[in-house]
Structure 1
Amino acid sequence: MTTPASHLMTSLRSGNATAPRLTWYGPDSERVELSGRVLDNWVAKTSNLLQDELDAAPGMRLKLDLPAHWKSMVWALAAWQVGLETVLDGADADFLVTAATDPVEGRYDAVIAVALPALAMRWPGTLPAGWVDYAAEVRSHGDVFMAHAEPDPAACAIRAGGGGVHSQAGLLEGFALPHEDGARIHLAAGDGLEGALAGALGAWQRDGSVVLTAPEVELTDHLLATERIHGN
């Protein structure tokens, strides 16, 4: 049995797969636009890195120590596609995905460093011994994901703020925020990763798209008009 996350990735890479699905405005005038096909490609490569290189399996836990960003959305989608539980707080986890090289508390099967600039081909500097450089490793993995084991639909996908627990099967119905069909919505990264993920999932499952802006980016009338942001 496939999970809603897997069905979502199938829908993003089929149909109108060249339409924008995730647009990111970051610092220093950075703009990244991912079509459904390109987003699925990033998620597939990341899923394959998890499964084939890091031996991730359904039911394991992945801590996302990242800000709201297009790469953190890729990681969350990949984790759900593999069948992992995404951890956004200080709870224990099997894997840590981080954009910092601060000393790590706790034990992890693997620590993955994510360089956030879009054009980064590797981590800018020296990583602690044993850490995985996401930018340097992800491109070598396959563009198509084939799961070694099917996720358990009843297993936890994410523990949301306030204690809400959402299963793999209920991710799109319980955690995702409702949006109009085909809406192109704006999400502010400064509002946090959990809200960005819930908003994006709700838009994508209704054939919509997302514009995510970093806290440094001013949401001007020109940007709203250029990106054709509408809906709620």
Structure 2
Amino acid sequence: MSIPASELMAALRSGNSTSPRLTWYGPDAERVELSGRVLDNWVAKTSNLLQDELDAEPGMSLRLDLPAHWKSLIWALAAWQLGLELVLDGGEADLLVTSEPASSGGGFDAVIAVPLPALAMRWPGELPRGVLDYASEVRSHGDVFMAHGIPDDSAHAVRTGDGSVHEHSVLLEGFAASHETGARLLVRASDGLEGALANALGAWHNGGSVVLVHPDVELTDKLLAAERIQGS
């Protein structure tokens, strides 16, 4: 059974696959641009890490404790592609993905530490015992994702900050925001992770692309013009 997240990834890697789909502006003049093909590559590697190294399978839950960031979008897509429930309300989950592993607490089957700098090849410093270093592990995983299990499209795909849930079958209609076809969408990271995910999904679902901007980055006319953003 195909779920909307899997169909979305297929569309991103096949339709205009070399065009920008996700552009990130971060601190210290950081700019990351991912085409549909490269975005799919990152998502596939992350899905394979979850499936092959952490034994993640459809129906499990993953708490995403990251700020709005390009790596957060990668993790969300990977979780959905695998048929997991993404937990955004800080509640209990099987797996924890965090940029602050020292304060993660217990109760998880696995904890994955994600360093946010784009060029980070490993976690900067010592990690708590048993915590997986995403940056050092993800690159060794395959570029193509083949699911071992069959996701249930009636299972929960996301639990939002207010505790409401959306099933996989309606992820792109019930959770994703509505945007015009082909939009080059400005998404402000200051609006939070849940908003960034909903807006990005809506843009990609309608053949568009996303420019995600860190709160410390000034939205100059030059930047907006260079990225061809309108109506910001």
Tell me the TM-score range normalised by the shorter chain.
Answer: over 0.9
Equivalences for 1:93-112 in 2 at 5 Å?
93-112=93-112
Secondary structure, aligned partner of 2:103? coil
2:197 aligned partner: 197
| Whole-Å separation in 2 of the counterparts to 1:172 and 1:230 | 23
3-state DSSP class of the match of 1:161? coil
> 2:122 touches 2:133 (CA, 8 Å); kept in 1?
yes
Alignment of 1:33 with 2:33, yes or no, is yes
Q: Note if 1:167 corresponds to 2:167.
A: yes
**Distance (whole Å) between structure 1 residues aligned to residue 231 and residue 56 of structure 2:** 37
Q: Output the amino acid matched with 2:2.
A: T
Instruction: Return closer, same or farther for 1:129/1:106 CA change in 2, 3 Å cut-off.
Output: closer
SS of 1:96 mapped into structure 2: strand
Task: Map Cα deviations across residues 95-152 of structure 1 (whole Å, 9 max, x no partner).
Answer: 1000113232231111000011111100011101111000000000000000001110
Q: Distance in 1 between matches of 2:231 and 2:6?
A: 25
In the alignment of these two chains, the number of paired residues is: 232
**162-171 or 51-60: which moved more?**
162-171
> Is the contact between residue 22 and residue 211 of structure 1 (CA under 8 Å) also seen in structure 2?
yes
- Listed one character per residue, the Cα deviations across residues 180-224 of structure 1 (whole Å, up to 9, x for unaligned) are 010001000011000000000000010000000001011111111
Residue 84 of structure 1: aligned partner: 84
RMSD between superposed Cα atoms in Å: 1.0
Separation of aligned partners in 1, 2:103 and 2:224: 40
Residue 18 of structure 1 deviates from its aligned partner by: 0.3
TM-score (norm. length: structure 1): 0.98
* Local SS of the residue matching 2:228: coil
Quote the residue 2:222 is aligned against: 222
Q: Which residue of 2 is the match for residue 210 of structure 1?
A: 210
Contact map agreement 2:123 2:135 (CA 8 A) in 1: yes
Query: How far apart are the structure 1 equivalents of 2:230 and 2:138?
Result: 33
In the alignment, the residues of structure 1 paired with residue 225 and residue 72 of structure 2 have an alpha-carbon distance, to the nearest angstrom, of 26
Corresponding residue number in structure 2 for 1:125: 125
Partner Cα distance (2:144, 2:231) in 1: 32
Partner amino acid, structure 1, of 2:179: H
Secondary structure, aligned partner of 1:41:
helix
What amino acid does structure 2 have at the position aligned with 1:101? P
Paired residues of 1:68 and 1:196 also in contact (CA < 8 A): yes
| Residue deviations 1:68-116 (CA, integer Å, cap 9, x gap) | 0000000000000011000112210011000113232231111000011
Does 1:53 pair with 2:83? no
Confirm or deny: 8 A CA contact 1:62 1:87 kept in the other structure: yes
* 1:187/1:211 contact within 8 Å kept: yes
Shift of 1:162: 3.3
Moved more, 95-104 or 18-27: 95-104
Query: Which secondary structure does the structure 2 equivalent of 1:200 belong to?
Result: helix
Query: 8 Å contact 2:58–2:151 — kept in the other structure?
Result: yes
Residue 136 in 1 paired to residue 147 in 2? no
Distance in 1, Cα, partners of 2:127 & 2:106: 18
